[in-house]
Amino acid sequence: MRLSPIVFVLVALGLPLPAVAALPLEVPGEGQLPSLAGMLERVNPAVVNIATYTAARSSNPLLDDPFFRRFFRVPRGRTQSSGSGVVVDAAAGYIVTNNHVIERADEIAIGLADGRILQAELVGRDPQVDLAVLKVDPEALVEIGFANSANVRVGDFVVAIGNPFGLNQTVTSGIVSALGRSGLGIEGYEDFIQTDAPINPGNSGGALVDLRGDLVGINTAILAPSGGNVGIGFAIPANMVRAVMQELIDHGEVNRGLIGVVVQNLNPELARAFDVEGNDGVVVVEVEPETPAAAAGLQPGDIITQVGERNIRRIADFHSQAAVMFVGDEVDVELVREGRSRTVELEIVDNRQQRVVGRLVDPRLAGAELENFWNPDEPGLSSGVLTTFIDPASNVHAYGLRTGDVIVAVNRRSVRDVNELREAVKLSARQIVLRVYRNGRFGNVILR
Could you give the residue numbers annotated as active site? 100, 130, 204
Cα–Cα dist 22/257, whole Å: 42
Pair 165, 195: CB distance under 8 Å: no
DSSP state of 202: T
DSSP string covering 152-221: --TT-EEEEEE-GGG-SSEEEEEEEEEEEE--SSSSSS--EEEE-S---TT-TT-EEE-TTS-EEEEEEE
The number of residues in the chain equals 448
The alpha carbon of residue 224 and the mean position of all alpha carbons in its chain are separated, in whole angstroms, by 19
Please choose, from the candidates 178, 172, 215, 210, the residue with its C-alpha nearest in 3D space to the C-alpha of residue 194. Answer: 178
Cα gap 304→315, rounded to integer Å? 10
Rounded distance between C-alpha atoms, residue 399 and residue 64, angstroms: 41
Is residue 152 a contact partner of residue 134, using CB atoms and an 8 Å limit? no
Find all residues with CB under 8 Å of 146, minimum gap 6, and list them. 88, 214, 215, 238, 239, 241, 242
Neighbours of 87 (CB within 10 A): 24
Longest dimension (CA), the chain: 84
Give the integer Cα–Cα distance in Å for 233 and 267: 29
CB 96 within 8 A of CB 235: no
CA atoms within 13 A on the CB side of 102: 28
Euclidean distance between CA atoms 328 and 448, whole angstroms: 34
